[in-house]
Structure 1
């Protein structure tokens, strides 16, 4: 009986120690992430693309990486991607890790980008790059400069019910990850989206349509 009791006590102590370590690692992760985000500047939109006949500007993955990597490293943070293709969807998972062991991740899925004259491999590659960019931004809560919406950025008005329904219908139509969109804009629900960001959200979703 004594040996059994000792073994049970040892297991409890080990479990308590592991939970304590995990808690401390999570606290260190959150502290490091907050410190890094405070130092990361607004990302410059250095590329222009077209959605139909409408031009829009965005920051490419290389610009994001160039900006954030040194800052993350100074705070003991790193990132990596996992990806897979299931049926007609490409999925990317972005994992943010801290040197003390805690990590968090988010994922986003989309169809291969068949716009232009891309072959099947290029279509998947284009979708992967887009999803890596979006999941990394969502994981870190990054903001990008937005010349088009700059004048309206100070407005506190929210989108209308009709605009919210338009976004929800589009999310369902293209199979987008609604939670990733909410994370990107740092809102709890689609109806909480500022009116000044509606065009940006619509453009982001429309850019994932397969032509």
Structure 2
């Protein structure tokens, strides 16, 4: 008579250790001549179990790595003067982030890579953060090409690409940059930073709104003149127009 075994029978036998892996259950099933449907269910169970285990290993590694990653130092400075105010801010570039986090991530079996594409006027970048056990997570952002500063087409794409790589990596790891209060220390209204300028430019392009109209509304000569305190208001105005 052909032997058949159910999953419940394989999971427990008198005197056996109760904790048993799906792989061990598959081995038992083969030995007992289990039906092919039982084997298929066990293989599916094994695959889901492996995914769960690798997810747990990934989460543990991320938590341990983040505990070791220091605040990223802002190693780049931007400074220019518009008609009504001076803009000055610091930021951490991609190379500084990589220099800080890569050795720590590697020590916990973590690595990252980027996937990018250009779709019309939008540049899309996906940061893929993976663990040596096979589990990975993705974080994607998109923005319009950076056409400021008389850049040519390739330079505009490259500028946005680098920016999105930096932002998706920071988002994937939940990184914080060191605080910079130079604007406040100088007694000046703190203007929006470079990231916020890019976000506004990207949203303006998506909405199809004219930058001049936004400048007139806030009574400024250029986007870098926009006070940081009014950034959310500007975003809300553009999103409201987008929803129309």
TM-score of the aligned structures, taking structure 1 as reference length: 0.70
Change (3 A) 1:122 1:136: same
| Runs of 5+ unmatched residues, structure 2 | 5-33, 185-198, 208-226, 236-244
Q: Which residue of 1 aligns with 2:149?
A: 116
Deviation beyond 2 Å, 4+ runs, structure 1: 49-53, 169-176, 198-203
More RCO (CA 8 Å, sep 6+): 1
2:98 aligned with 1:65, yes or no?
A: yes
Structure-2 separation of matches of 1:103 and 1:115: 35
* C-alpha displacement of 1:117: 2.1
Q: Give the corresponding residue for 2:60.
A: 31
Query: Paired residue for 2:188?
Result: none
Counterparts in 2 of 1:175 and 1:200: CA distance versus 1, 3 Å: farther
Against the structure 1 CA distance between its residues 59 and 200, is the aligned structure 2 distance closer, same or farther, given a 3 Å change threshold?
farther
Name the structure 2 match of 1:40.
69
Q: Deviations over 1:143-183 (max 9, x none)?
A: 000212899xxxxxxxxxxxxxxxxx95854559xxxxxxx
Tell me the TM-score normalised to structure 2 length.
Answer: 0.61
Query: How far apart, CA to CA, are the structure 1 residues paired with 2:116 and 2:230?
Result: 24
Please say if residues 147 and 156 of structure 2, whose CA atoms lie closer than 8 Å, have aligned partners that are also in contact.
yes
Aligned to 1:14: 43
Unaligned runs of 5+ in 1: 152-168, 177-197, 207-211
**Map 1:1-211 → 2, pairs under 5 A:** 6-50=35-79, 53=82, 54-148=87-181, 170=200, 172-173=203-204, 175=206, 199=228, 202=231
